[in-house]
Amino acid sequence: MDRSMTMIQIASQERYAAGDAMFQLGETYLIMEKDADALKHFQKLLAEHPNSPHVREAMLRTGLIYNRQGNQQKALETFKSIVTKYPTHDTGQALALAGLFCLI
């Protein structure tokens, strides 16, 4: 039993580390103004690690990238999904609304 719990804990830490690494890579590409690469890593994080603590920030950055690429429809959908997914989270809502403001 103890060995099983240890294996579960290790797997959990590796999953967290993988999600964290994807977010950090996305951030790095964003800083380097390589939006396509950043978007790929943020989308991969959202698809493969939906419970990561970085999901809200990855969603926001995805919306901002879409806006910067001129794809206002996808940006709008992304910002709306943040508000829908995090209706009671003040920070998530404020960030999404800030993103929506950028579209105006």
Local confidence pLDDT in tens for the 104 residues of the chain? 455 445 444 444 556 578 888 899 899 989 999 999 999 999 999 999 999 989 999 999 999 999 899 998 998 899 888 888 877 766 655 566 666 556 55
pLDDT reported for residue 1: 46
2-103, CATH topology level: 1.25.40
Question: What are the sequence ranges of the domains in the chain?
Answer: 2-103
Neighbour count for residue 40 (Cβ, 10 Å): 15
pLDDT reported for residue 99: 61
Distance CA 98, CA 90 (A): 12
Distance CA 83, CA 95 (A): 9
pLDDT reported for residue 74: 93
pLDDT reported for residue 4: 47
Distance CA 31, CA 17 (A): 21
pLDDT reported for residue 8: 40
